[in-house]
Amino acid sequence: MSKSTIYQIAEQVGVSASTVSRALSGNGYCGRRTKAKIMEAAKALNYAPDHAAKILKTRKTNKIIFAVPDICNPFYFDMINGINQVAEEYGYLLILYYTKHRLSEELKAIQNVKERVADGMIMVSFHFCEENISAINDLSAPVVLTNQYESPGGGDRFDYVYVDTFEGTKQGTKHLIGQGLKRIGFIGGSLSEQTGRQRFGGYREALLEAGLPYTEEHVIESDYTEKGGYLAAKRLLESNGRPHAIVAANDLMAIGVMHACEEAGLSIPEDMAVVGMDNLDVASRVHPKLTSVSLEQEDIGRRAAQILMDRLHGRAGYEKAVKIVPKLVVRQSSVRMH
């Protein structure tokens, strides 16, 4: 049987539509007996409220959009998970919008918010530029970004939540230093990109703080792939005074490092300690299990969603910019057993 409207219920019961609306929504007065009859009729007529009509009148969609550059990347799954936890708690549905690393798609996502498809948006932007920013600032709906960003004028309307990857590699490096290791190599991404520089910076600072010498030969720029890590590690192993530990800027490269060591007959962690970053599933599945810096994606998602909810409910006390501190997960690859 197809569903019905409040008008049909009203007719059936013999009351006005306003009364039916009040009875069903609970807003406003409604007599006990009338209410019971309305409820009964609603059931009998297979009533379900029409979402679109409700939205049109109330201006609330109870949906949020998560605009994500890459749907295939496990990194973002955890964010989705975190976002959904909070969204659900507040009774919001989550719309996934796949931007494919394209500015045009990011703008379309913003347009969706403008058309009131959703009440707010969380976005991982890969094209953080004037066009983008002004489009977001033009929205009346709140937006939370997960980019690190210093607002030049300070007048931006959005908030952001980001991970401090500098702190991440710093923690990883300090952990190795704490294990008594002194010659520590670093395999990162390109230093011409911000991401690459940040991760390198943390490694560099940990050495500095510990008063350890910095050897340029022990730092290799690679490409975040397993193969890249493997090749980089081979070079490090051939360098004179080879390092006894390696910090890799992500887990895939760290796994490449492990394979290179295995091939060279070096055992991990005895001959070479390894630390990765991202804390992918695979980190705990390789042998030996890989110590890795978790970027706390789920937490990013949760915090971003929380800020969005705070904004949507006009609550005060949220922070415009939240910095998430990564968390070192120590496993076998970096701890020598005695």
Partner DNA sequence: TTTTGAGATGGAATCGATTCCAGAACGGGT
Partner DNA sequence: ACCCGTTCTGGAATCGATTCCATCTCAAAA
Binding mask 44-83 for DNA (x = CB under 7 A): ---xxxx--xx-xxx-------------------------
State how far the Cα of 269 lies from the Cα of 286, in Å rounded to an integer.
13
- 6 sits near DNA (criterion: CB under 7 A): yes
Q: What's the length of the chain?
A: 338
Where b means 16+ CB within 10 Å and e means fewer, 255-279 reads bbbbbbbeeeebebbeebbbbbbbb
C-beta closer to its own copies: residue 117 or 321? 117
Which part of the chain contacts DNA (CB under 7 A), choosing from 41-49, 140-148, 202-210, 318-326? 41-49
Q: How far is the CB of 94 from its own copies (least distance, A)?
A: 5
Per CB under 7 A, the list member of 1, 11, 12, 31 interacting with DNA is 31
- 137 sits near its own copies (criterion: CB under 8 A): no
Binding mask 241-280 for its own copies (x = CB under 8 A): -----------x--x---x--x------------------
Helices 6-13 and 17-25, axial angle in degrees (round to 10): 110
Q: How far is the CB of 32 from its own copies (least distance, A)?
A: 26
Per CB under 8 A, the list member of 16, 18, 81, 104 interacting with its own copies is 81
Matching residue, tokens 């550059």? 69
| Residues 305-324 within binding reach of DNA (CB under 7 A) | none
Q: Which entry of its own copies, DNA, none binds 44, CB below 5 to 8 A by partner kind? A: none
Integer-rounded Cα radius of gyration of the chain:
27
C-beta closer to DNA: residue 11 or 156? 11
Assigned token pair, 1: 């049987």
> φ and ψ at 100, to 5 degrees?
55, 35
Distance between alpha carbon 235 and the CA centroid of its chain, in Å? 34
- 74 sits near its own copies (criterion: CB under 8 A): yes
- Write the DSSP assignment of 3-67 as a string of letters: -B-HHHHHHHHTS-HHHHHHHHH--S---HHHHHHHHHHHHHTTB---HHHHHHHH----EEEEE
Closest CA to 224 of 268, 260, 256: 256
Question: In whole angstroms, how far apart are CA 224 and each of 179, 199, 316?
Answer: 26, 12, 40
Per CB under 7 A, the list member of 11, 12, 17, 235 interacting with DNA is 17
State how far the Cα of 141 lies from the Cα of 115, in Å rounded to an integer.
10
Binding site for DNA (CB under 7 A): 5-7, 14-19, 21-22, 24-25, 27-35, 47-50, 53-54, 56-58
Binding site for its own copies (CB under 8 A): 1-3, 46, 48-53, 55-56, 61, 63, 71-72, 74, 77-78, 80-81, 84, 88, 93-98, 111-112, 114-117, 138, 140, 226, 252, 255, 259, 262, 281-282, 285-287
